[in-house]
Amino acid sequence: MTEGPTINTIARRAGVSIASVSRVLNGLPTREETVRRVLSAAEELGYVPNSVARSLKNRRTNQVAFAMADIGNPVYLAMVREIQPVLRAAGYRLLLHSTDADVADELDVLRGLGERYVDGLIMSPLRVTDEHLRALAAARAPVVVIGSVPEETGVDNVRADSRTGVRLALDHLYGLGRRRIAFVNGPPDTVPGAARAAAYREALDALGLPYDENLVEVGDFYRAEGATAVRALLDRAADVDALMCANDLIALGALDVLRRAGRRVPEDVAVVGMDDTYLAGVAWPALTSVSLGSERRGRAAAELLLDRLENGQRQARVVTVEPRLAVRASTAGVRDGTDDVPGAGEGTEGEESP
Amino acid sequence: MTEGPTINTIARRAGVSIASVSRVLNGLPTREETVRRVLSAAEELGYVPNSVARSLKNRRTNQVAFAMADIGNPVYLAMVREIQPVLRAAGYRLLLHSTDADVADELDVLRGLGERYVDGLIMSPLRVTDEHLRALAAARAPVVVIGSVPEETGVDNVRADSRTGVRLALDHLYGLGRRRIAFVNGPPDTVPGAARAAAYREALDALGLPYDENLVEVGDFYRAEGATAVRALLDRAADVDALMCANDLIALGALDVLRRAGRRVPEDVAVVGMDDTYLAGVAWPALTSVSLGSERRGRAAAELLLDRLENGQRQARVVTVEPRLAVRASTAGVRDGTDDVPGAGEGTEGEESP
DNA sequence: ATCCCACCCGTAAACGTTTACAGACACGGT
DNA sequence: ACCGTGTCTGTAAACGTTTACGGGTGGGAT
């Protein structure tokens, strides 16, 4: 932990100027002899360039941040797992911010861009307030938002398509003969909550099914709240034959409650989750789930950001990822849960640890 | 995205020197009047200090990195979730490295410390080679290793206690009357693989049970490999009445296979996982699992590192975290899976996303 | 009036790089 | 012998901070 060698140390040892050292280390044309001297001096001293000094001069840090509510959520996790390798391949390090969906925290992150500790930011806010939009407009570095943001904001934007997603699920359930399809949502003041609620109504309309508010329950995007909501739902509308859950965690809670209530899945009640996280494959019965393409969204966001970092003046772009329905035992009546790997071939599954 | 104001801009606008600006912004004693002028100039200009320049001068970045094999693994995830808030509270940002357990990558990270882009590193290598030890000794910044490393290395070290952990599990199974307790391990050349293999033998000895190599299967720390291993095991030793799995992912694979094979869990075969990740609560039946305290280890590592950052010359410390057994349906015959929340009260469960 | 001291503040150097610029030198052509 | 050209390298400034040092000012004590 002694003070490391700098370009100066090398220059002295090699008997050249620091400019020459820098040139050699950056591969600029230099006389053979000088190159040798510098390289061997650097080698002997175990020189490693100081990235902070380099960043100061170059005005780029080769760091990018990803800000999301909570990395414990499998959706964000899936994104990180895609974002990381893309950035890494391009020579960027990844910084993580967990904001707990706290608006003030998110704004802090945005303002923090002024500190220039990263070259860009990928952010996936649960709620998008006016303050967010203002902060985005004032951001001192390129930002890519995962989640819908008005076009005028002029920010690169990666979107899911809950509308089509919910539609896929309801069509599927309808095709299975289900007519009392309930909807268990998270907070409707969140971006995904609002989108999915609207999508549910629309899909019912399209199928010619009536909207019955007894079939709608609002909770939060967690397992425990999902369970609570489904309990209430069963009390209120005993004849439900299908549950559309606004994410996989809610669906997991639903499975627990249904099991306890003695309802068979899928025979009595079919269950569909959303996000198609790897939890869908772990659950039993394995969960049919609408993939909103977290992996693809993560990758797209990373690529948009990289592109923007090379071409700052480009017009803002909006990428929308197509949803897919992954059918598994919780609706299909297949015997067990290993038929389809969740994440739709985008590679999940964890590795071990000490 | 215009070039932001610097301390110079403020100095000019406030009619003072940059030294005064710096002093004011750092809260050093300054005349009332000057303070006002500087602050209001800074305010008007929307000044944000450049953290790169500051880092260069101060020789600290307020960043810390965490390097692990794969953040998709629930164990590392649990660690990140604990590490992040601890660091954040101390004013550090968190940088993530996924190394895929690649030794070369891990060494790169260690050497990269010379670039000074972080003040310290928490690292959880799956394998610890001699090269690791050399690189650790030569590291240019404080490192905390999660996973066992020889004392002489002189590195802060947080350890799990697989030995006691496996012992707890086997005692539990023995107490339930199980005598044909198989062991499904991951690669024995990894730190946890080796430790758990040894622990299994020891625990058998202590219980007076014979070591039967037909009851031992080696695969990898994933679900699919766990499944394969258990299939082989059932073929070879049809009379197993309990499975000790070296981690939760293996155990999930085991549950699948047992279900397909028509073996009831826990009546016919009891299953114990390891790490007590939140997957244990998602599985059905809910998985009894040995907690090796990923959360506590993560927190301990973060605290050790912070302490070391304040007190560089302190003697290296070793922290060992006590294992705990979380008993659930896969051994206890409890009817459903929501009795005990995994992570032993250390707070898991994800949140939702767009 | 002189001296001293306290208090503020500005100048300048430093952190470790990159890079514009110009000087030194060799060489070939006239 | 001179000039031009080209190649290589060193000097110095710059990136945006922090901070040691010393100078200026004003007030109180003598």
- Helix spans in chain B (H): 7-14, 18-25, 32-45, 51-58, 74-89, 103-112, 130-138, 162-175, 191-207, 223-236, 248-260, 279-282, 294-310, 329-332
Per-residue model confidence (pLDDT) at position B1: 46
Query: What is the β-pairing status of strands A93-98 and B93-98?
Result: antiparallel
Q: Is there a contact between A107 and B42 (Cβ–Cβ < 8 Å)?
A: no
pLDDT digits (tens, 9 = 90+) for A232-265: 999 999 999 999 999 999 999 999 999 999 999 9
What is the rounded average pLDDT of the residues A88-100?
A: 96
Q: Does B351 have pLDDT greater than 90?
A: no
- For residue A71, the chain B residues in CB contact (below 8 A) are 71, 77, 80-81, 84
Q: What is the mean pLDDT of chain A?
A: 92
Residue B223 pLDDT exceeds 80: yes
DSSP A192-213: HHHHHHHHHHHHHHHHTPPP-G
- CATH number for A63-160+295-320 (one of 3.40.50.2000, 3.30.70.1060, 3.40.50.2300, 3.30.70.330): it is 3.40.50.2300
Tokens of A19: 């400019």
Residue of A80, A252, A294 lying closest to B71 (CB–CB): A80
Q: Tell how far CA A336 is from the center of its chain.
A: 29
Which strands, in side-by-side order, build the sheet including A270-274?
A: A216-218, A181-185, A242-245, A270-274, A288-291, A324-326
Q: Measuring CA to CA, which residue among B205, B203, B202, B210 is closest to residue B180?
A: B210
Beta-carbon separation of A192 and B353 below 8 A: yes
Within 8 A of B141 by CB-CB distance, chain A residues are 1
Please give the structure tokens belonging to residue A130: 């006016």
Nucleotides of C under 7 A from a protein CB: 7-12, 14-20
CA of A29 to C1' of D6 (A): 13
**Measured between alpha carbons, how far is residue A148 from residues A46, A225, B79 in Å?**
48, 25, 31
Q: Which residue of B has its CA nearest to A115?
A: B50
B250-285 residues labelled b (16+ CB within 10 A) or e (exposed): bbbbbbbbbbeeebebbeebbbbbbbbbbbbbbbbb
Asked if CATH classification 3.40.50.300 holds for the domain at B162-293+324-332, the reply, yes or no, is no
B207: Cβ under 7 Å from strand D?
no
Average pLDDT value for chain B? 92
Is B19 exposed, middle or buried (CB count within 10 Å of its CB: 0-12, 13-18, 19+)? Answer: exposed
Per-residue pLDDT averaged across B256-280, rounded? 96
**The two three-digit tokens of residue A176, written as one number:** 């299975």
Give mean pLDDT, residues A26-41: 94
Region B152-166 average pLDDT: 96
Cβ-proximal residues to B28 (8 Å cutoff; 6+ apart), any chain: none
Phi, psi for A217 (deg, rounded to 5)? -135, 140
Q: Do domains A7-49 and A162-292+324-332 have the same CATH topology?
A: no
Rg of chain B over Cα atoms, rounded to whole angstroms, equals 26
Instruction: Give the CA B44 to C1' C5 distance in Å.
Output: 38
Size of chain B in residues: 354
Residue type for position A107: L
Share of chain A above pLDDT 70, in %: 93
The Cα–Cα gap between A54 and A58 comes to 6
Instruction: From residue A137, give the alpha-carbon distance in Å to each of A304, A318, B3, B48.
Output: 17, 16, 15, 16
What is the helix (H) or strand (E) element at residue A335, kind and residue range? none
Q: Residue B20 CB closer than 7 angstroms to strand C?
A: yes
What are the tens digits of pLDDT across the range B8-27? 999 999 999 999 999 999 99
Nearest-Cα distance to chain B for A98, in Å, is 8
* B80 to chain A, closest Cα gap in Å: 8
The CATH number of A7-49 is: 1.10.260.40
Which amino acid is residue A163, in one-letter code?
A: R
Q: How far is residue A89's CA from residue A303's CA, in Å, rounded to a whole number?
A: 11
The beta-carbon neighbor of A52 closest among B112, B117, B148 is: B117
Residue A313: predicted pLDDT? 84
pLDDT in tens, A282-294: 999 999 999 999 9
Instruction: Give the Cα separation of B177 and B327 in Å (integer).
Output: 15
Q: Collapse the DSSP code of A144 into the 3-class scheme (helix H, G, I; strand E, B; otherwise coil) and give the result.
A: strand
- Residue B312, pLDDT score: 82
Whether nucleic acid strand C comes within 7 Å of the CB of A24, the answer is no
Task: Answer left, alpha or beta for residue B344, where phi above 0 means left and psi between -120 and 50 means alpha.
Answer: left
Please state the domain extents for chain A: 7-49, 63-160+295-320, 162-292+324-332
Q: Do residues A272 and A331 make contact, with C-beta atoms less than 8 angstroms apart? A: yes
Q: A162-292+324-332, what's its fold? A: Rossmann fold (3.40.50)
Burial class, A175, CB count within 10 angstroms (exposed 0-12 / middle 13-18 / buried 19+): exposed
> Average pLDDT of A170-198?
96
B320: three-class secondary structure by DSSP: strand
Give residue B3's pLDDT band: very low, low, confident or very high (50, 70, 90). Answer: confident
CATH architecture of B63-161+295-320: 3-Layer(aba) Sandwich (3.40)
Give the pLDDT confidence score for residue A312 in this predicted structure.
82
pLDDT above 90 for A340: no
